[in-house]
Structure 1
């Protein structure tokens, strides 16, 4: 499998963490939450937490604090199809393909629910063929990008498809929930909205950079699902985020890395570019320590986190796009995502040109 084109999309308005804190302090929610909650929010949004800004699908931060099931559902329906399609259009353009050449589309999300699913909205907006194979993947959280790509690989390997469109889209502002729980509050300060897309092909492109997916693996440990998950409460999604997440992410990331590199006869020193889901600053630091990396090795993940926040499943598309735009050296690249489940996935890419 080859990645022939990439595209990303995000809402147009940039909100800094200082603006987010000011909006919270002036909202009705500030009075509803206790003093400890105020301290947590101020600590996260005033210290260096690795994030400077986020893009949110609202025209004013005041809208963020209107938290009810109908408002959040409308926000998802309005923005998820639009962002997903915009990212898909850009990936198709970069790949030099028409929408009618796509044989299958795979769309992942965890921040909202539609039936019929997002794939139908994307097919309609992009003008995909009526016989396109359409798949909607849900419930995989921040880790979803790689299972999405793995399904694309399977479709291509089966011979049933020549071109697959992979899309992850998250409207985290449509999954807003507030209470006095530290994990809930920290989540509200970390996540942003965005979409990423990739055109997957059986054959490498004739020109430009060639990105070959060579091998991948996954680990899923259901006994750790309560460390990071969504639950339904009051008709809305409530994020559960525990202190165990950075350590779990680093442990599982190391295990999938060693499995795939071992099969290829490689070691971590052979990897020249690291395309990692960030999660947050503490997660990046845990990855750096466990994988024996330098801060510069995770510079693309850190840069995307600082500017966009944690965009959940869409995040690694932004990181891969940033590395390509920067002209990162060809060779072995490592792509990895992790999240709810607890799950972790990794893939070895061979980049040429």
Structure 2
């Protein structure tokens, strides 16, 4: 039995801030001199990011106007973990509800009453009773909906949620699984001149994405069949990408060596994913790659021989949203799905994400496209040609 990714909804905070504005905030917060400020601004210019979203308006403001950070030259006393997670509790639910409703609105056959499983994903905040229970109440899901939380796994966590959804749907043909990935990365700004923190502060942003997975394609329009997954570890990168809870927020380690580690493992990851499938890399022209950073995207293109155009959806998300951790690859998949046409039916799609460990995740999907019914109130009749599963 095949499961299908049928709809993806997204939501971002109202504060949309230009990358240059954030660079000015960071330089002031770090009390950089003119030379260090120029270097920091150059880092932000070459990031491939034009704007990011945050639940905090402070990143677009100057000292004296802050609402969350102290209005002192050095931002002291620096906000604690408890203060940051208080903001997470305030904003995570409404953002998640917005993404979930956007997702459900795209699929007429899915309603809050029909959802059988809820999977919440986050590495930027946690509490109990948690976001999963609050979503059940806010969305009006059935109280017996089966809930699973995927926490603190970083940027590749959406892949684990999709694997869980796939397993649920293979076990139950009536399953409808709602995945909600919500990340408020900007709560965890670290006031440190260390290179790892400078890079993290230049990339991460806030957003939420919700996905609906079920055991049949959407009644009309595009769906993505979940055909195969493969996971690998690069143990040499154990300390190059990490995520730790400390007294003043969650601290991200993201070294400049990460693209080299991904370059070393990405081809073997792809070969292992495809080795039992009737698909070769040369057959794939659609990609949904987690934009962990511009250099990571360029490294993968070089190693796999794909073009920037092939990878355009990742660049668009990076440019407009930055890196939203686990939600980001779903934003990329949404961009891809919005650009599919009936002519793409049967085409393979290759997706990647990366995270602490160093973990490398790969997923192969296949486009399924159901014609739009003449009468929009009636589901389109499913045709045999809509999806022919890949032979294992």
Give matches, 1:71-86, under 5 Å. 71-86=83-98
Q: Which runs of 5+ in 2 are unaligned?
A: 71-77, 370-392
Higher mean displacement: 306-315 or 83-92: 83-92
Which of these two proteins has the greater Rg computed from alpha carbons?
A: 2
C-alpha displacement of 1:9: 0.7
Which residue of structure 1 lines up, in the alignment, with residue 349 of structure 2? 333
Cα separation, 2, equivalents of 1:252 and 1:115 = 37
**Match in the other structure for 1:147:** 160
The alignment status of 1:276 with 2:289, answered yes or no, reads yes
Which stretch of the first structure deviates more once superposed, 270-279 or 60-69? 60-69
Residue 223 of structure 1: how far off its partner (Å)? 5.2
CA-atom RMSD, angstroms? 2.0
- Which is helix-richer, 1 or 2? 1
Which residue number in structure 2 is paired with residue 302 of structure 1?
Answer: 315
TM-score by length of 1: 0.93
Which residue of structure 1 lines up, in the alignment, with residue 75 of structure 2? none
Contact 2:234 2:261 survives alignment (8 Å)? no
- The corresponding residue for 2:122 is 109
1:352 shift after superposition: 2.5
1:43 maps to: 42
C-alpha displacement of 1:65? 4.5
Question: Counterpart in 2 of 1:68?
Answer: 79
Q: Which of 18, 35, 44 is the aligned partner of 1:16?
A: 18
2:217 match: secondary structure = coil
Moved more, 237-246 or 69-78: 69-78
Deviations 1:219-240 (A, max 9, x none): 1345532110112222421111
2:366 is equivalent to residue 342 of structure 1 = no
Q: How many residues align?
A: 349
**Which stretch shifts more, 186-195 or 13-22?**
13-22
| 1:53-94: CA deviation from partner (whole Å, max 9, x where unpaired) | 101112342447454123311221111122122111111111
CA contact (8 A) 2:234 2:265 kept: no
Instruction: Give me the TM-score of the superposition, normalised by structure 2.
Output: 0.84
Counterpart in 1 of 2:387? Answer: none
Deviations 1:176-213 (A, max 9, x none): 21212111011011111001111110112232113211
Q: Could you tell me whether the CA contact under 8 Å between 2:288 and 2:311 is conserved in 1?
A: yes
State the alpha-carbon separation in 1 of the partners of residues 312 and 287 from structure 2: 9
Alpha-carbon distance between aligned partners in 1 of 2:235 and 2:147, rounded to the nearest angstrom: 27
Equivalent residue, structure 1, for 2:4: 2
Q: Secondary structure at the match of 1:156?
A: helix
CA–CA distance in structure 2, aligned partners of residues 74 and 337 of structure 1: 29
2-structure distance, mates of 1:291, 1:345: 15
